[in-house]
Amino acid sequence: MNTPEDEQAWDDLFRQRLEHYEAEPAADALGRILAGTPKPVRINRRRVAGRVAVSLLLLIGMSWWALNRWPMLPEQPAAVKTSPVGTARKSTLPSGSASSPTTPERSPSSTLVNPDQSVAVNKPSVREREATFPTNNTFSYRSPGKSRQARVAGSVRYRQPATYRGRIRPTDATYPDWDDSSTDLVNVLTEVASVAEPAPLTIGRLQHLGLRLPQMAPPAAPISAQQTHLATSPAVSRRRRSSVYASVMALYSYRRISPNTNDEVYIRQIQSSRTFSSDRIGSRIQIGKEWRLSQRIGLRAGLTYGQLRTSMRYRLRTLPTDSTQVNWVNDQTVRLTPMADRPVAVAGRYHYVGLNTDLIVSLGSGQLWSHYLTAGATVGGYVAPVRRQGAFLQASYGIERPLTSDLWLRIEPSVQYGLNAVSDRRNLCKIRPYTYGLTISFRK
User: Based on CB atoms, which residue is closest to other proteins, 41 or 162?
Assistant: 41
What count of other Cβ atoms lies within 10 Å of the Cβ of residue 332?
Answer: 6
The one-letter code for the residue type at 260 is N
DSSP state of 65: H
Residue 311's beta-bridge partner residues? 347
CB of 329 to other proteins, least distance (A): 12
**Neighbouring residues of 129: CB distance < 8 A, sequence distance ≥ 6:** 200, 201
H helices, E strands: number in the chain:
10, 14
Find the helix or strand (DSSP H, E) in which 195 lies. Answer: helix 182-195
**What DSSP letter does each residue of 120-182 carry, written as one string?**
--PPPPTTT------TTEEE--PPTT--HHHHHHT-EEE---GGGTTSS-GGGG--PPP-S-H
User: Based on CB atoms, which residue is closest to other proteins, 15 or 240?
Assistant: 15
Residue 4 found at the interface with other proteins (CB under 8 A)? no
Q: Among 384, 367, 372, 374, which Cα is nearest to 422's?
A: 384
Residue 154 found at the interface with other proteins (CB under 8 A)? no
Rounded to whole angstroms, what are the CA distances from 224 to 192, 193, 299?
Answer: 10, 6, 35
User: Based on CB atoms, which residue is closest to other proteins, 40 or 204?
Assistant: 40
User: Based on CB atoms, which residue is closest to other proteins, 199 or 334?
Assistant: 334
CB of 24 to other proteins, least distance (A): 7
Among 75, 128, 172, 263, which residue sits at the site for other proteins (rule: CB under 8 A)? 263
User: Based on CB atoms, which residue is closest to other proteins, 162 or 326?
Assistant: 326
358, 223 Cβ separation under 8 angstroms = no
What count of other Cβ atoms lies within 10 Å of the Cβ of residue 143?
Answer: 13
Instruction: Calculate the dihedral angle through the C-alpha atoms of 271, 275, 281, 286, rounding to the nearest 10 degrees.
Output: 120
User: Based on CB atoms, which residue is closest to other proteins, 7 or 130?
Assistant: 7
Instruction: Count residues near other proteins (CB under 8 A).
Output: 45
CB of 434 to other proteins, least distance (A): 24
Site for other proteins in 376-435 (CB under 8 A): 427
Among 91, 109, 278, 324, which residue sits at the site for other proteins (rule: CB under 8 A)? 324
Task: Show the site string, 303-322: x = touches other proteins by CB under 8 A, - = not.
Answer: -----------------xxx
Binding range to other proteins, per CB under 8 A, among 11-19, 112-120, 240-248, 368-376: 11-19
Among 4, 5, 18, 145, which residue sits at the site for other proteins (rule: CB under 8 A)? 18
CB of 26 to other proteins, least distance (A): 5
Site for other proteins in 19-58 (CB under 8 A): 19-26, 29-30, 32-34, 36-41
Residue 326 found at the interface with other proteins (CB under 8 A)? yes
**Neighbouring residues of 294: CB distance < 8 A, sequence distance ≥ 6:** none
Residue 250 found at the interface with other proteins (CB under 8 A)? no
Through-space distance between the first and last CA atoms of the chain, rounded to whole angstroms: 91
| CA dist., res. 177 & res. 152, Å (int) | 9
CB of 274 to other proteins, least distance (A): 32
CB of 36 to other proteins, least distance (A): 4
Site for other proteins in 338-357 (CB under 8 A): 338
CB of 267 to other proteins, least distance (A): 17
CB of 327 to other proteins, least distance (A): 11
CB of 381 to other proteins, least distance (A): 15
Secondary structure (H, E, C), 403-421: CCCCCEEEEEEEEEEECCC
What count of other Cβ atoms lies within 10 Å of the Cβ of residue 70?
Answer: 8
User: Based on CB atoms, which residue is closest to other proteins, 283 or 323?
Assistant: 323
| CA dist., res. 179 & res. 182, Å (int) | 9
Among 17, 46, 274, 342, which residue sits at the site for other proteins (rule: CB under 8 A)? 17
Among 13, 48, 153, 347, which residue sits at the site for other proteins (rule: CB under 8 A)? 13
- The residue ranges that bind other proteins (CB under 8 A) are 1-2, 6-7, 9-11, 13-15, 17-26, 29-30, 32-34, 36-41, 262-264, 320-324, 326, 328, 334, 336, 338, 427
